Amino acid sequence: MVAPALELRNVVRRFGSVVAVNDVSLSVARGEFLTLLGPSGSGKTSTLRLIGGFEDLNSGAILIDGQRIDHLPAYQRDTATIFQSGALFPHKTVAENVAYGLRMRKVAPPDMERRIAEALDVVRLRGFEQRYPAQLSGGQKQRVALARSLAVRPAILLFDEPLSALDLSLRLQLRAEIKRLHDELRFTAIYVTHDQGEAMAMSSRVAVMNSGRIEQVDAPEKIFHAPASEFVYTFIGESCCLPVEVGPSGVADKSGALLPLHLGQSQPTGKSRLYVRPSRFRLAAEAAALPNRLRARVHFIEFLGDVYRYHLKAGALELAADHPGAIGVKAGEEIDVGWRNEDMSVFR
C-alpha cells in the first residue's frame, strides 16, 4: 500500500491554556487538493504552520510519504508555503526570488535557468524576471510567490490564505488559475481559507475545522449537501434555523403550538433545531404540494440582486426565504411557505 502524501496523527498544539489544534488526524493522498476551512481561531492556520514547521507540536505525529517529519526544522522539510502577504524577498528580483529555493536545493545552474523559466511560464510572468517586488501589483506578487514555491517541486504545497488580501475580481481570477495549475500539475496541496466559496471551488476534499478540531472531511458536494454536524451546516452556505420541540404528539414551536412537519422516523424527543437553506423554501402556490408547509406573515422583504429575500414569521418561528422574483405580497400580508423533507436537517 502506498503511504499517503501527508498524514497527521493525533496532532495537538497548545498556546498556554488554549488548545489551538486539538487531536487532529488527517490523511491526504498524492495529488489531492485539501482545504482546511473554518472561522478565525478554528486552528486551521496553526495546523498548516505545524505542517510547514513554523510551530512545534505538543503531541502527535506528522508524516510526509510515510516518514515522520515533525522533528525537522522548517528548512529541512519538503514543503513550500504561499503566504497571505506573498512574503517575497524585497531586495531580490523576481528571478532571484524564484531561484532562492533552487539554490538551497543545490540545483545546477543550467537546470536552474530552465526551472525558473518554467515556473514563471506557469504563472504567466515571463518578462518580469528583473522586476523587484515593489514594482509588482498584488496579484503579480502572489503569482511570483506561487512560482517560487512551485519551482522547488515540494512534496506538499501549503497555501496560507493566499488570496485574502486581494480584491474580489483578482481573487476569483487567481482562484481559477490555481485550480487550473492543480489540474495541470497535480501537486499535493493543503489550502487554508475562511472563504467557503474558495474551498468549494478548488478542493478535491474540504476539512471543516472548529475550535481546534476537524468536524468533517469530505468532498465539497458532501460537505454542502450532507453536513455531518450542525456547525458544518451553519458554517457552509446560508441557513435558516427553526428551534422546535419534539414531543409525543408531534413537533411544536417554542410556544407549544403544533407544527405540521414531518421530521421522519425516530426523532428523539426534546429540543431540536431544524434547518432549511433560504434557497430551498418555496412560496405561495409553489408551496402547495409540499409535505412541510406553514402559513406565515411577511415581516419585511429585501432585494439581494439575484433574489428577493422574504423575512417571514410563522407563530414563534422566523424564516428567511429566497425567491427569484417578486410575488406581489407586501409586508404584513400572509403567505404559504413550504419545503421538501430532503431539504431539511435536524440537529439537537
Partner 1 sequence: MPEAAIRRSAEPFLFRTLAIAFTVFIVGYILVPILVTLVMSFNDAAMIRFPITVWSLRWYADFFGSAQWTDALRNSIVIAAGTAVISTSAGILCAWAFQRFPIPGRDALYVLIMLPLFMPGVVLGLGVAIAFGGLSIGGYSFYGSRAMVMLAHSLWAMPLVFMLMEATFRTVDNRIVEASYDLGGGPVRTFFEIVLPMVSTGIVSSLLFAFVISLNEFVMALFLTDRDTQTLPVLMWLSLRSAGTPRLAVASVILALTVFACLSLIMLWYIRQLRKVSQ
User: Considering only residues 58, 85, 272, 345, which one is a binding residue for partner 1 as defined by CB under 8 A?
Assistant: 85
Q: Which is nearer to partner 1, 85 or 279 (CB)?
A: 85
Considering the complex, what minimum distance in angstroms separates the CB of residue 264 from partner 1?
A: 50
3-state secondary structure 286-333: HHCCCCEEEEEEEEEEEECCCCEEEEEEECCEEEEEEECCCCCCCCCC
CB pairs under 8 A, 24+ apart, for 252-255?
253/314, 253/315, 253/316, 253/317, 254/316, 255/315, 255/316
Q: Which is nearer to partner 1, 83 or 224 (CB)?
A: 83
Pairing between strand 189-193 and 156-160? parallel
User: Considering only residues 37, 80, 123, 317, which one is a binding residue for partner 1 as defined by CB under 8 A?
Assistant: 80
Q: Does 134 bind partner 1 (CB under 8 A)?
A: yes
- Three-state SS for 252? strand
Q: Does 71 bind partner 1 (CB under 8 A)?
A: no
Q: Which is nearer to partner 1, 83 or 347 (CB)?
A: 83
Secondary element (H or E) of residue 23:
strand 18-28
Considering the complex, what minimum distance in angstroms separates the CB of residue 262 from partner 1?
A: 53
Q: Does 188 bind partner 1 (CB under 8 A)?
A: no
User: Considering only residues 101, 139, 220, 227, which one is a binding residue for partner 1 as defined by CB under 8 A?
Assistant: 101
User: Considering only residues 9, 14, 30, 105, which one is a binding residue for partner 1 as defined by CB under 8 A?
Assistant: 105
Distance CA 220, CA 33 (A): 11
- In the numeric block, which cell numbers belong to residue 36? 482546511
Q: Does 79 bind partner 1 (CB under 8 A)?
A: yes
Q: Does 132 bind partner 1 (CB under 8 A)?
A: yes
Q: Does 153 bind partner 1 (CB under 8 A)?
A: no
Considering the complex, what minimum distance in angstroms separates the CB of residue 89 from partner 1?
A: 6
Residue 181's contacts (CB-CB under 8 Å, 6 or more residues apart) are 122, 123, 146, 150, 187
Which residue type sits at 225? H
Contact footprint for partner 1 (CB under 8 A) = 52-54, 73-76, 79-81, 83-85, 87-91, 100-101, 104-105, 132, 134-135, 148-149, 152
